[in-house]
């Protein structure tokens, strides 16, 4: 009997893992897809994907959209996210910090975190410049492509970093490869200095700044960033870093603090 119960529990756990895989896949694709397309692209049995999609549809986690049986993330996920944000003061503090950074520097300010083994922008406030730089919130980006990535993995050992980051993520947008050992050298530099800045390797006209927002364990749980036109960023480097450090200090340990009743 215990063996049967354990098998049933294991099957439910695998189903839950697969359901989260479907949701995360749709989030990354950012488009509605048919269940058979989802199954093919995540390498899962079509029967189990259809079963899970129907279950998620019945609970409002997925919704039909775009015709021909295509599904995408449902509005219930928005309400769940809103409930999470309502529970924590941190969201409001983060928005205030980004607004202050954008006002002080006139540059695009971002709050960034790891999402699994990828980097993502969680919050953003565009600057006041006529020429604006923006990034899709929630889009997964390879860690080596970003200034923040050097800080977000700095608590890991060299080998842990290499194990954590998929090898293909060292291939840059222009098709060139970033040497993993060179990346690790930059990680250790960021760890020593507590900041990382560089000319973006994603485009040719921006300069990126990142400072850590440290969690209770002392390492970077998130980062605050500025994305600036290259010449302006280099010219204002020290002032921009001062602004970032002050804003990050105000957010230290804030992610774990729930709202007071």
Contacts of 155 by beta carbon, 8 Å cutoff, 6+ apart: 217, 219, 220
CA 141 to chain centre: 8
> Which residues face 224 on adjacent strands?
111, 211
Q: At what angle do helices 46-58 and 35-42 cross, to 10 degrees?
A: 130
So what's the pLDDT on residue 256? 47
Phi-psi region of 68 (alpha: psi -120 to 50; beta: other; left: phi over 0): left
So what's the pLDDT on residue 218? 85
pTM above 0.75, yes or no: no
Nearest Cα to 134, choosing from 109, 151, 155, 113? 109
Q: Quick one: CA torsion of 98, 99, 102, 103, rounded to 10 degrees?
A: -150
8 Å CB contact between 104 and 242: no
Q: What is the pLDDT along the chain (261 residues), one digit of tens a residue?
A: 555 555 555 667 788 899 999 998 898 888 999 999 999 999 999 999 999 999 999 999 999 988 889 999 988 888 887 777 666 666 678 888 999 999 999 999 999 999 889 999 989 998 877 665 666 777 889 999 999 999 999 999 999 999 999 999 999 988 999 999 999 999 999 999 999 999 987 777 899 999 999 987 888 999 999 999 999 999 999 999 999 999 999 887 554 444 544
Q: At 158, phi and psi to the nearest 5? A: -55, -45
**Tokens, residue 86:** 């309502």
122 C-beta neighbours (distance < 10 Å), count: 15
Q: At 60, phi and psi to the nearest 5? A: 75, 5
196 C-beta neighbours (distance < 10 Å), count: 25
So what's the pLDDT on residue 179? 96
8 Å CB contact between 132 and 108: yes
So what's the pLDDT on residue 140? 86
CA distance 1 to 187: 52
CA distance 27 to 140: 9
**Tokens, residue 62:** 């997925």
Cα first-last separation, the chain: 46
CA 210 to chain centre: 14
So what's the pLDDT on residue 92? 74
Q: At 178, phi and psi to the nearest 5? A: -90, 125
């Amino acid at each position: 009997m215990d063996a049967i119960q354990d098998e049933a529990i294991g099957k439910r756990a695998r189903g839950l893992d697969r359901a989260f895989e479907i949701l995360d896949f749709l989030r990354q694709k950012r488009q509605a897809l048919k269940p058979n397309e989802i199954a093919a692209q995540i390498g899962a049995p079509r029967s189990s994907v259809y079963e899970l999609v129907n279950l998620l549809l019945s609970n409002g986690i997925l919704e039909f959209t775009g015709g021909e049986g295509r599904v995408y993330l449902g509005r219930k996920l928005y309400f769940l996210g809103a409930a999470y944000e309502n529970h924590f003061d941190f969201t409001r503090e983060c928005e205030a910090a980004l607004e202050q950074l954008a006002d002080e520097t006139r540059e695009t300010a971002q709050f960034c975190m790891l999402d699994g083994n990828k980097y993502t922008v969680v919050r953003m406030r565009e600057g006041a410049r006529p020429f604006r730089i923006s990034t899709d919130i929630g889009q997964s980006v390879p860690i080596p492509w970003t200034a923040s990535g050097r800080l977000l993995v700095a608590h890991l050992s060299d080998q842990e970093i290499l194990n954590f980051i998929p090898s293909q993520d060292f291939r840059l947008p222009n098709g060139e490869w970033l040497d993993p050992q060179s990346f690790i050298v930059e990680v250790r530099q960021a760890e020593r200095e507590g900041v990382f800045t560089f000319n973006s390797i994603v485009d040719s006209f921006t300069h990126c700044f990142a400072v850590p927002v440290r969690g209770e364990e002392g390492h970077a749980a998130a980062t605050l960033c500025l994305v600036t036109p290259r010449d302006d960023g280099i010219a204002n480097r020290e002032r921009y870093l001062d602004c970032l450090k002050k804003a990050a200090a105000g957010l230290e340990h804030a992610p774990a603090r729930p709202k007071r009743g």
